[in-house]
Copies of this chain bind each other. A is one copy, B any other.
């Protein structure tokens, strides 16, 4: 990653040259990959110990799996009603490029969920080596397909493909992931409503509402600022009147900021980044991380852990989502919900 001192130097260079152009640095030139591991601000161990459960557990476990099941049952009923009434069902299409194991696992979950609720499901699988044009072609085909109401491009795409360009082609009415900049803009602006709210942040809010967690006026800290989770989580919490801060890989003293949070959303993608000492006593913790770590004792040789050190957090937090079984299933349920809404809107079905 680009170290902080380099960014400072970039800032200075820009300032020196500004006599001629009077132009702030282009934002895209400021963009950096958020590499948490090389930031000396973080004192977490890079190979966190696998903690054993202790007996001091106190936090309530927020059960995302059962909430998701409940939502899916309700969606299935709506799908039946739609089928009986107008002879149509919602359709979701996925574009999957390359062989990433995690992407294939996510898509498998989405496929199964679609079957469960009675959606039509279609997938376009493209090889790692495919061109931007081929991805756009697949997207255009689904854009025109009236039986498909939601389309998602499984991210990340291979590096040679420009995600922004691809998302620009996606029909706004079918952007069930809610990643189109117009959707994000409408999520940000008070007085406006996006067509779709990104699934993971929407799932997080849904869990908070179902758990009777007060949001308005409370301190919320989002750890991680990805376009697909961190940023829209900030925007959505702020629309719900929380006082929100975003912590990222360049933040100084992240654990001090995290400790201010009544509601903590951990979405850095770093296993066990958030230790027990990062939490305010009584905080509500939503762990978005899904990180595979080696575990010779488990069936596949690895198991999934979150961004939060669960065994430590459970002693300090008042409520916490587990990994797996917390935010993950809710993300899939919200994708189904967005697709159902897209279909209802497209078919004029109420």
Binding site for B on A (CB under 8 A): 4, 7-8, 11-12, 14-15, 18, 20, 22-24, 26-28, 30-32, 41, 70-71, 74-75, 163-164, 180-194, 197, 202, 205-206, 209-210, 212, 214-219, 225-227, 231, 235, 238-241, 243-248, 250-252, 254, 257, 260, 337
7 CB-based A-B contacts, threshold 8 Å: A8-B214, A11-B209, A11-B214, A32-B241, A164-B191, A190-B225, A257-B260
The answer, among B23, B189, B193, B226, for a CB contact under 8 Å with A227, is B189
Closest to A29 in B: B193
Q: Shortest distance in angstroms between A172's beta carbon and chain B's nearest beta carbon?
A: 10
Copies of this chain assembled into the complex:
2
Closest to A184 in B: B185
Expressed in whole angstroms, the Cα–Cα distance for A194 and B74 within the complex equals 40
B216, A192: Cβ atoms closer than 8 Å: no
B241, A7: Cβ atoms closer than 8 Å: yes
- Are A15 and B212 also in contact (CB < 8 A) when A26-B193, A251-B217 are? yes
B30, A241: Cβ atoms closer than 8 Å: yes
* CB-defined contacts of A241 to chain B, threshold 8 Å: 7, 30, 32, 248, 250
A184, B188: Cβ atoms closer than 8 Å: yes
* CB-defined contacts of A235 to chain B, threshold 8 Å: 188
A191, B227: Cβ atoms closer than 8 Å: yes
* CB-defined contacts of A4 to chain B, threshold 8 Å: 216-217
B245, A202: Cβ atoms closer than 8 Å: no
B22, A71: Cβ atoms closer than 8 Å: yes
The answer, among B227, B245, B250, for a CB contact under 8 Å with A217, is B250
Expressed in whole angstroms, the Cα–Cα distance for A15 and B30 within the complex equals 41
- Are A246 and B243 also in contact (CB < 8 A) when A7-B216, A185-B184 are? yes
* CB-defined contacts of A219 to chain B, threshold 8 Å: 252, 257
The 3 tightest CB contacts between A and B, nearest first, are A185-B185, A181-B185, A245-B245
* CB-defined contacts of A22 to chain B, threshold 8 Å: 70-71, 74-75, 337
Expressed in whole angstroms, the Cα–Cα distance for A108 and B155 within the complex equals 49
- Central interface residue in A184, A210, A219, A238, by most chain B CB within 10 Å: A184
Expressed in whole angstroms, the Cα–Cα distance for A248 and B4 within the complex equals 30
A190, B243: Cβ atoms closer than 8 Å: no
Q: Shortest distance in angstroms between A273's beta carbon and chain B's nearest beta carbon?
A: 15
* CB-defined contacts of A185 to chain B, threshold 8 Å: 180-186, 188
A27, B239: Cβ atoms closer than 8 Å: yes
Expressed in whole angstroms, the Cα–Cα distance for A231 and B41 within the complex equals 27
* CB-defined contacts of A181 to chain B, threshold 8 Å: 182, 185-186, 188-189, 192
Closest to A226 in B: B190
Expressed in whole angstroms, the Cα–Cα distance for A203 and B190 within the complex equals 22
- Are A189 and B184 also in contact (CB < 8 A) when A22-B74, A239-B27 are? yes
